[in-house]
């Protein structure tokens, strides 16, 4: 809640400005339209004060200070730019470059890299200093992320996000001085560390030191392969972020342009993960209602559509596995349908289907081989996951003029969705969608007003209570995996002491804001961007004729034609999964 805060008056480059007390000099400068050069600071994170570029002078102080980590004080007179500061910053950039490979042309961050941008802005035209690189091998142990310590500028953002935001502690600095380097926990391989592949490190890294495993070429080859039948699906959160790489703003809903794009790229059919999100709700809401009515001690039910969260729970809280919804995540449900139902009606050989998921997420790359159930169709249900960022690169290499592309429709029936499916992309969305359908299941009626505003927004843990014909259903929503511990703790304590459980239904998303802030989304995410993307999601929801999953006529049809009932045997076989305790560390 915005409390009326004290303001202070300071001078920045001789211009007076009022800012709220507690504002850093860096932010205060931004408020007066001055961008102080920086490399280690990220607005999501606590300032680490490492790079030394954001230095400014303060009248009356003999030392320069780091603006990112220094609070503005009443009456301060600050100089952000002068010759000396310029020269110092430029030398520091040159020094950083002397410890960094000149690999831009071969780098995933080319044209999208904070260090490259600084070098370009400061007009660094020669390398005055000798190259002195770290001699540490890349870590390619996971199927989601690649760590290249040689490119790391030791900014500390990944450490901060992984330890203090996500509370996973998969990465840490090891060594010190010139040899200090980023490394997975215990100096093991990333895959043997607690890493949950959420990719928040990659989303926050200013350079190409932690990047998603690039699968663009695999997809291009598949598209060229005459024997294959390539199909694609787009996740809810991609439609509100992808456009940022083109002329669109965060939150502009460009779903139909994306369908068109994927066809132009060469996919033979384009589905929408929103459809399978509706399906997930059918399965999960039924599961919830069943547990709620018949097996209340098995509550709370916890959502399981975020694979990073699944990994976290399997590693850190295996004793809570029974609370997990067994429903697969939407894109996995789509995967299995694309290789069972779809080839059946299309009369093609399922082995020819090549399924590509376009996701905001790096953990989905891991998820597709997570367990045997991910092969329920008899094949690997999803062949490749591309992140939003990878699709941007692919679009550009394919030379498609996305700005002016004509809208198209998705392929029915796996491409039709309701508002409930689309809101999966934002924190609280899965819960809201589930409640819309659970209400119907419990009462036989549809909600007059489907908007559950309490479950929306960026607060780390949200709680709500829903009255369904006199039955109170209590729910909690956590996003940013670091918030989960508090929620689980309360559940555990209640259960140990035989108290009433605090909530019946819990939604967890590993990324702050949910998938709109996913680890595979376009760079530069801040809360402002998260909000815009979220707004886009809810706009899309509002626009839909049907806003509850069970109202989706094609979902109804799918059950009639193929799956039978929600939670039926067939549904279980294809749409549900199992969980098991996994080691937190492996040697």
Question: What residues line the site for ligand SF4 (CB under 6 A)?
Answer: 100-101, 103-105, 107, 109-110, 113, 115-116, 145, 151-158, 161-162, 166, 168, 170-171, 182, 195-201, 204-210, 306, 308, 360-361, 363, 509-511, 514-515, 518-519
Closest residue (Cβ) to ligand SF4?
518
DSSP 206-252: SSTTEEEPP-HHHHHHHHH-TT-EEEEEE-GGGGGTGGGGTTPPTT-
Residue choice 20, 30, 46, 50 for contact with ligand FES (CB under 6 A): 50
Residue 546's CB: how many other CB atoms inside 10 A?
17
Residue choice 122, 288, 309, 424 for contact with ligand FES (CB under 6 A): 424
Kind of pairing between the strands at 171-174 and 181-184: antiparallel
Under DSSP, is residue 16 helix (H, G, I), strand (E, B) or coil?
A: strand
The residues that bridge with 244 in the sheet, in sequence order, are none
Sole window of 200-208, 233-241, 389-397, 549-557 interacting with ligand FES (rule: CB under 6 A): 233-241
Residue choice 64, 79, 104, 468 for contact with another protein (CB under 8 A): 64
Segment holding 431, helix H or strand E: helix 429-443
Catalytic residues, by residue number, are 284, 287, 305, 325, 364, 367, 373, 515
Residue 463's CB: how many other CB atoms inside 10 A?
16
DSSP assigned state of 548: S
Shortest Å, Cβ 132 to another protein: 6
Among positions 265-324, residues that touch ligand FES (CB under 6 A) are 273, 305-306
Q: Is 80 in the site for another protein (CB under 8 A)?
A: no
Sole window of 30-38, 212-220, 257-265, 578-586 interacting with another protein (rule: CB under 8 A): 578-586
Q: Is 584 in the site for another protein (CB under 8 A)?
A: yes
Query: How many residues are listed for the chain in this entry?
Result: 587
Q: Is 189 in the site for another protein (CB under 8 A)?
A: no
Please list, in sequence order, all residues whose beta carbon lies within 8 angstroms of the beta carbon of residue 347, skipping any fewer than 6 positions away.
none
Buried b (16+ CB within 10 A) or exposed e, 317-349: beebeebbbbbbbbbbbbbbbbbbbbbeebeee
User: Given the complex with ligand SF4, which of 211 and 414 has the nearer CB atom?
Assistant: 211
Decide which of another protein, ligand FES, ligand SF4, none touches 273; Cβ closer than 5 to 8 Å per partner kind.
ligand FES
Shortest Å, Cβ 354 to ligand SF4: 22
Residue choice 30, 49, 95, 104 for contact with ligand FES (CB under 6 A): 49
Under DSSP, is residue 514 helix (H, G, I), strand (E, B) or coil?
A: helix
Q: Is 171 in the site for another protein (CB under 8 A)?
A: yes
Q: Is 8 in the site for another protein (CB under 8 A)?
A: no
Q: Is 322 in the site for another protein (CB under 8 A)?
A: no
Q: How are strands ordered across the β-sheet holding 353-359?
A: 269-272, 229-234, 353-359, 384-387
Quick one: tokens of 527?
Answer: 């809360």
DSSP assigned state of 203: H
Quick one: tokens of 63?
Answer: 């030392």
User: Given the complex with another protein, which of 155 and 285 has the nearer CB atom?
Assistant: 155
Kind of pairing between the strands at 7-12 and 15-20: antiparallel
User: Given the complex with another protein, which of 185 and 414 has the nearer CB atom?
Assistant: 185
Of the chain, the end-to-end C-alpha distance in Å amounts to 46
Decide which of ligand FES, ligand SF4, another protein, none touches 319; Cβ closer than 5 to 8 Å per partner kind.
another protein
Q: Is 75 in the site for another protein (CB under 8 A)?
A: no
User: Given the complex with ligand SF4, which of 147 and 563 has the nearer CB atom?
Assistant: 147
Shortest Å, Cβ 355 to ligand SF4: 17
DSSP 51-82: S--SEEEETT-SS-EEGGG-B--TT-EEE---
Q: Is 296 in the site for another protein (CB under 8 A)?
A: no
How far apart (Å, rounded) are the C-alpha atoms in residues 452 and 466? 9
* Integer CA distances (angstroms), 547 to 163, 180, 423, 505, in order: 38, 52, 10, 20
Shortest Å, Cβ 483 to ligand SF4: 12
Decide which of ligand SF4, ligand FES, another protein, none touches 38; Cβ closer than 5 to 8 Å per partner kind.
ligand FES
Contact residues for ligand FES, defined by CB under 6 A: 38-41, 49-54, 66, 68, 235-237, 273, 305-306, 329-331, 360, 424-425, 515
Contact residues for another protein, defined by CB under 8 A: 47-53, 55, 63-66, 69-71, 84, 87-89, 91-92, 95-96, 98-99, 128-130, 132, 153-154, 156, 163, 169-180, 183-187, 193-194, 315-319, 485, 488-489, 492, 581-587
């Amino acid at each position: 809640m915005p409390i009326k805060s004290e303001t202070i008056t300071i001078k920045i480059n001789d211009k007076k400005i009022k800012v709220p007390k507690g504002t850093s000099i860096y932010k205060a400068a931004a408020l007066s339209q001055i961008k102080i050069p920086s490399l280690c600071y990220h607005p999501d994170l606590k300032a680490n004060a490492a790079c030394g570029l954001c230095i400014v002078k303060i009248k009356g102080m003999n030392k320069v200070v780091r603006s990112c980590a220094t609070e503005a004080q009443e009456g301060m007179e600050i100089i952000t730019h002068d010759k000396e500061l310029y020269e110092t910053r430029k030398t520091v950039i040159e020094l950083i470059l002397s410890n960094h490979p000149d690999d831009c042309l071969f780098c995933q961050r080319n044209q999208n890299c904070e260090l490259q941008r600084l070098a370009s802005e400061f007009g660094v035209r020669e390398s005055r200093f000798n190259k002195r690189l770290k001699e540490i091998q890349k870590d390619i142990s996971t199927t989601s992320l690649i760590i290249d310590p040689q490119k790391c500028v030791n900014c500390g953002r990944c450490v901060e996000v992984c330890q203090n935001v996500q509370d996973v502690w998969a990465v840490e600095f090891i060594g010190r001085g010139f040899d200090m380097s980023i490394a997975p926990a215990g100096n093991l391989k990333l895959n043997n560390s607690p890493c949950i592949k959420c990719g928040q490190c990659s989303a926050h890294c200013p350079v190409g030191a932690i990047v998603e495993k690039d699968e663009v070429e695999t997809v291009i080859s598949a598209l060229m392969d005459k024997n294959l039948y390539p199909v694609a699906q787009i996740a809810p959160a991609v439609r509100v972020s992808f456009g940022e790489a083109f002329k669109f703003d965060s939150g502009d809903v460009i779903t139909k342009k994306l369908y068109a794009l994927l066809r132009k790229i060469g996919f033979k059919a384009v589905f929408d993960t929103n459809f399978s999100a509706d399906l997930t709700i059918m399965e999960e809401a039924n599961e919830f209602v069943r547990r709620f009515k018949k097996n209340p001690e098995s509550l709370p039910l916890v959502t399981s559509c975020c694979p990073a969260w699944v990994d976290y729970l399997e590693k850190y809280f295996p004793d809570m596995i029974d609370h997990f919804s067994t429903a697969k995540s939407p894109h996995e449900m789509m995967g299995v349908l694309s290789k069972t139902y779809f080839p059946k009606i299309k009369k093609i050989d399922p082995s020819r289907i090549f399924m590509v998921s376009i996701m905001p997420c790096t953990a989905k790359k891991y998820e597709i081989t997570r367990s045997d159930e991910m092969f329920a169709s008899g094949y690997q249900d999803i062949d490749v996951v591309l992140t939003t960022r990878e699709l941007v690169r692919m679009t550009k290499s394919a030379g498609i003029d996305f700005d002016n592309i004509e809208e198209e429709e998705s392929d029915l029936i796996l491409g039709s969705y309701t508002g409930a499916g689309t809101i999966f992309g934002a924190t609280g969305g899965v819960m809201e969608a589930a409640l819309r359908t659970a209400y119907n299941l419990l009462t036989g009626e549809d909600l007059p007003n489907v908007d559950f505003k309490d479950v929306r927004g960026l607060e780390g843990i949200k709680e709500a209570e829903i009255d369904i014909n006199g039955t109170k259903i209590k729910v909690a929503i956590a996003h940013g995996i670091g918030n989960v511990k508090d929620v689980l703790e309360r559940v555990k304590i209640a259960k140990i002491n035989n108290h009433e459980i605090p909530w019946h239904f819990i939604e967890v998303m590993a990324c702050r804001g949910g998938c709109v802030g996913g680890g595979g989304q376009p760079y530069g995410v801040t809360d402002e961007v998260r909000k815009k993307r979220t707004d886009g999601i809810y706009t899309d929801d509002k626009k839909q004729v049907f806003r509850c999953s069970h109202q989706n006529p094609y979902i109804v049809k799918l059950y009639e034609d193929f799956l039978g009932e929600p939670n039926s045997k067939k549904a279980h076989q294809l749409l549900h999964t199992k969980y098991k305790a996994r080691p937190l560390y492996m040697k």
